[in-house]
């Protein structure tokens, strides 16, 4: 582990890996890492906010307390809007995409960001880990015009960068620009992210399976059979079951320790629960870059042609041998 390389230095040193203009990637990542620090701070005092804000739900400045999903959403949007690089944002928390006019209202910015600003938000109530997931594309419509839905409905294989943030015992940003996966841990005393997990690859000997087994009876036959396979007493099985209830956190653990994550279709929800554009595509991009595969049960996630902003798909991500 090399503690001496910061996220900022890493981006500058590896700029050539990003196939576009110098400086664009660092501006994008800068917006994201700054917002992640603000969200870290807010997440860390989540319990306290309730105590301080108990009178009428307002804080000491008289502002109304916001749910952390809304807080995280606004924090990421403000950070991205202010850096003159992003022309449109889609978020789990917004019904429609946001158009960013840019300086002089000339629509000259080139990048689209899709995000799940707070992933696993029900974990907040019980002091458990949450995350953020983000996906970055170049716009497909001409610079100088407002973004359209076409810019947002690009298949995941056109992502130029993707990543996630885990707000756990420490905050870590895991990032890929299509040339491997690297993790940067925040030193909260200094406010600096250091390269802590260079070149993340799924371990070969994974023994974890992660699925919400409460839905077992509603899962397709193949998934049921696979879960039984994981539980069988044979060779190196039974595998061990781990499930946090935050895709970013569950996938992060499985990528470091080795294992499979599943959010399958069910009789109740034929398309599963996870959203293609800002949960599955960015995670699939990272998973593939770490040597794994991500499918909807039949097709590669990154090859799906999106039809709607908030579309759901079944999701399975793991190492493939």
Q: How far apart are CA 31 and CA 42, in angstroms?
A: 17
Q: How far apart are CA 313 and CA 307, in angstroms?
A: 11
Q: In angstroms, give the least distance from the CB of 165 to ligand AHG.
A: 13
Instruction: Name the residue with the smallest CB distance to Mn ion.
Output: 119
Looking up tokens 């109740």 gives 268
Q: In angstroms, give the least distance from the CB of 310 to ligand AHG.
A: 11
Looking at the Cβ atoms of 102 and 168, the one nearer to ligand AHG is: 168
Residue window 67-96: x/- pattern of binding to Mn ion, with contact defined by CB under 5 A:
-------------------------x----
Torsion angle of alpha carbons 35, 37, 38, 44, nearest 10°? 140
Looking at the Cβ atoms of 31 and 68, the one nearer to Mn ion is: 68
Total residues in contact with Mn ion, by rule CB under 5 A? 4
288 binds Mn ion (CB under 5 A): no
- Strands (E) located in the chain: 86-91, 98-99, 111-119, 130-138, 161-167, 171-176, 182-187, 192-197, 208-210, 240-241, 259-263, 292-295, 315-319
Closest CA to 137 of 152, 150, 149, 147: 152
- Strands (E) located in 125-191: 130-138, 161-167, 171-176, 182-187
Looking at the Cβ atoms of 120 and 282, the one nearer to ligand AHG is: 120
Residue window 97-136: x/- pattern of binding to Mn ion, with contact defined by CB under 5 A:
-------------------x-xx-----------------
List contacts with ligand AHG (CB under 6 A).
92, 116, 119-121, 212, 245-247, 250, 273
Q: How far apart are CA 244 and CA 128, in angstroms?
A: 8
Looking at the Cβ atoms of 24 and 74, the one nearer to Mn ion is: 74
Reading the block at residue 109, the tokens are 């910015």
Looking at the Cβ atoms of 5 and 98, the one nearer to ligand AHG is: 98
Closest CA to 130 of 79, 175, 72, 192: 72
Look at residue 245 and give the partner it binds from ligand AHG, Mn ion, none, a contact being a CB closer than 5 to 8 Å depending on partner kind: ligand AHG
250 binds Mn ion (CB under 5 A): no
Looking at the Cβ atoms of 180 and 245, the one nearer to Mn ion is: 245
């Amino acid at each position: 582990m090399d503690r001496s390389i910061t996220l900022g230095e890493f981006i500058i040193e590896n700029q050539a890996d990003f196939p576009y203009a110098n400086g664009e990637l660092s501006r994008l990542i800068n917006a994201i890492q700054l917002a992640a620090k603000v969200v870290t701070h807010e997440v860390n005092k989540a319990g306290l906010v309730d105590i301080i804000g108990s009178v009428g739900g307002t804080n000491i400045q008289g502002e109304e307390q916001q749910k952390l999903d809304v807080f995280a959403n606004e924090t990421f949007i403000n950070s991205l809007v202010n850096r003159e690089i992003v022309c449109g944002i889609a978020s789990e928390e917004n019904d429609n995409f946001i158009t960013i006019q840019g300086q002089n209202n000339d629509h000259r910015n080139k990048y689209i960001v899709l995000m799940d600003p707070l992933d696993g938000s029900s974990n907040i109530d019980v002091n458990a880990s949450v995350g953020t997931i983000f996906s970055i594309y170049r716009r497909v419509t001409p610079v100088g015009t407002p973004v359209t839905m076409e810019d947002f409905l690009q298949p995941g294989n056109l992502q130029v960068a993707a990543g996630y943030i885990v707000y756990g015992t420490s905050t870590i940003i895991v990032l890929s620009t299509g040339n491997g996966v690297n993790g940067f841990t925040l030193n909260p005393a200094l406010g600096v992210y250091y390269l802590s997990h260079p070149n993340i690859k799924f371990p070969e000997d994974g023994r974890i399976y992660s699925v919400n087994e409460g839905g077992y009876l509603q899962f397709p036959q193949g998934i049921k059979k696979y879960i039984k396979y994981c539980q069988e007493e044979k060779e190196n099985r039974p595998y061990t079951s781990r499930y946090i209830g935050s895709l970013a956190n569950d996938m992060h653990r499985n990528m470091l320790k080795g294992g499979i994550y599943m959010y399958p279709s069910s009789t109740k929800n034929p398309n599963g629960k996870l959203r293609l554009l800002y949960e599955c595509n960015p995670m699939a991009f990272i998973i593939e870059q770490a040597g794994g595969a991500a499918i909807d049960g039949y097709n590669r996630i990154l090859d799906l042609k999106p039809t709607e902003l908030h579309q759901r798909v079944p999701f399975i991500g793991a190492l493939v041998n």
